[in-house]
Amino acid sequence: MPPLQTDWCDVSATVLPDLFSPTTIGAFDVVNRIAMAPLTRSRADADGVHSRLAIDYYRQRASAGLIISEATNISRQGRGYAFTPGIYTDAHVAAWRPIVDAVHGAGGKIVCQLWHVGRISHVSLQENGAPPVAPSAIQAGELVFLETQTQATPSMPRALETDEIPGLIEDYRNAASRAREAGFDGVEVHSANCYLLEQFIRDSTNERTDRYGGPVENRTRLPIEVITAVAEIWGPDRVGVRLSPLTRSAGDTPLDSAPQATYGYLARELGKLNLAYLHCVEGQTRGPNGAAAFDFRALHAAFGGRYIANNSYDRQLAIDAIASGHADMIAFGRPFISNPDLVERLRSDAPLSDADRTTFYGGGAKGYTDYPAPYARVGA
């Protein structure tokens, strides 16, 4: 373990890159340009009620300019992995409130990522063993985690009926309202990683012939309707959206046939809503940074607002991305797991600790709240 650094005066007196300077992202005044990306850790109970361990987990990482919560189910139907938290009942709100309070007490800001997995689910996770729902009845191939502590292939989904979609949008609206009750600073609508809203966006997973399928204007209709509804609850400057044009989920979901055109169109339409930010996974999720394989700058320009970049950024890539204007904020995911003091490690260019991958999902404090933080500022 590197020695504890106690003399922060020398560090803070130097001229630091813009990565460590304050800015405004929508309605959020952030103390630095480092966001904590959403990280599924599967520490909730079987009903999606969060463990009290999460209070310490999030508080330990509150030096991030903005925390984006782990993906949080908007409904029982939206759940695709066991032990992931929800935000659709009184019990969920009661569990999240002390977590949010802890982040605020440590000087941080946190938004709730609203999640519906669509076809990436299993009948055992659905109410009364119902099939998962999706834009079209196309089965996913990647694995989901069940309450039996085993993995399984997702069940065959059924296509949502057109007249069910207003109820689905209402589920998002309810979850957004619940997030306000819990005290979050805002919400991020999860439209990435091949989950429900992205299943509508891509022509590879959307074979519908109604107003939600076919041309790009129809395939992007549901995400825009959901985000508009959520913005009515929060105000648009407290709503962000996450996209992942190049992610194939666990290697199974095909990309859209024209990702640059499709996501460019969506970014322009989202820009008209005056949202807080656009958050993009630049490349294959959990893969190498893929900013060179797709014109994410064009997405940023089409959106016209604040842009958060994510996916395998290191310190220098992040500094360069902020300095060049490519991004307004950088979201770090896996490094935050084993480095709760990541902001200070990046600030002082200190070494990063490696994470124990066997403790990523499920379990207790081990690999969750027990990582040391020798670079944390006193009082932070």
CATH number assigned to the domain comprising residue 161: 3.20.20.70
Tell me which residue range forms the domain holding 274.
19-359
Could you tell me if residue 7 is inside a domain?
no
Amino acid making up residue 18:
D
Could you tell me if residue 88 is inside a domain?
yes
Dihedral class, residue 351 (left if φ above 0, else alpha if ψ from -120 to 50, else beta): beta
Could you tell me if residue 373 is inside a domain?
no
| C-alpha 112, offset from chain centre | 8
pLDDT band at 379 (very low <50, low <70, confident <90, very high): very low
The β-bridge relationship of strands 28-30 and 23-25 is antiparallel
* CA nearest to 294, candidates 260, 320, 338: 260
Q: pLDDT tens for residues 351-368?
A: 999 999 999 999 999 999
Check: CB of residue 261 under 8 Å from CB of residue 12.
Answer: no
Nearest-angstrom CA–CA distance, 347 and 15: 11
Could you tell me if residue 375 is inside a domain?
no
pLDDT (0 to 100) of residue 39: 98
High-pLDDT (> 90) share of the chain, %: 88
Nearest-angstrom CA–CA distance, 68 and 54: 14
- CB crowding 81-109: b at 16 or more within 10 Å, else e: bbbbbbbbbeebbebbebbbebbbeeebb
Query: Residue 360 phi/psi, 5° resolution?
Result: -60, -45
pTM, 2 dp: 0.94
Write out the two tokens for 329: 């904020």
Could you tell me if residue 84 is inside a domain?
yes
- Residue 67 vs residue 4, higher pLDDT: 67
Mean pLDDT of 185-214: 98
Could you tell me if residue 289 is inside a domain?
yes
pLDDT reading at 378 higher than 80: no
pLDDT (0 to 100) of residue 113: 99
| C-alpha 24, offset from chain centre | 19
Nearest-angstrom CA–CA distance, 12 and 201: 45
pLDDT (0 to 100) of residue 333: 97
Look at the block and give the residue holding tokens 């940074």: 289
Number of domains in the chain: 1
- Residue 117 vs residue 148, higher pLDDT: 117
The β-bridge relationship of strands 66-68 and 28-30 is unpaired
pLDDT band at 192 (very low <50, low <70, confident <90, very high): very high
Could you tell me if residue 60 is inside a domain?
yes
Nearest-angstrom CA–CA distance, 275 and 229: 12
Work out the end-to-end distance of the chain between its first and last CA atoms, rounded to an integer number of angstroms.
Answer: 21
Write out the two tokens for 269: 């339409």
| C-alpha 236, offset from chain centre | 17
Nearest-angstrom CA–CA distance, 48 and 147: 11
Catalytically active residues are 195
Could you tell me if residue 132 is inside a domain?
yes
pLDDT (0 to 100) of residue 58: 98
Mean pLDDT of 17-37: 96
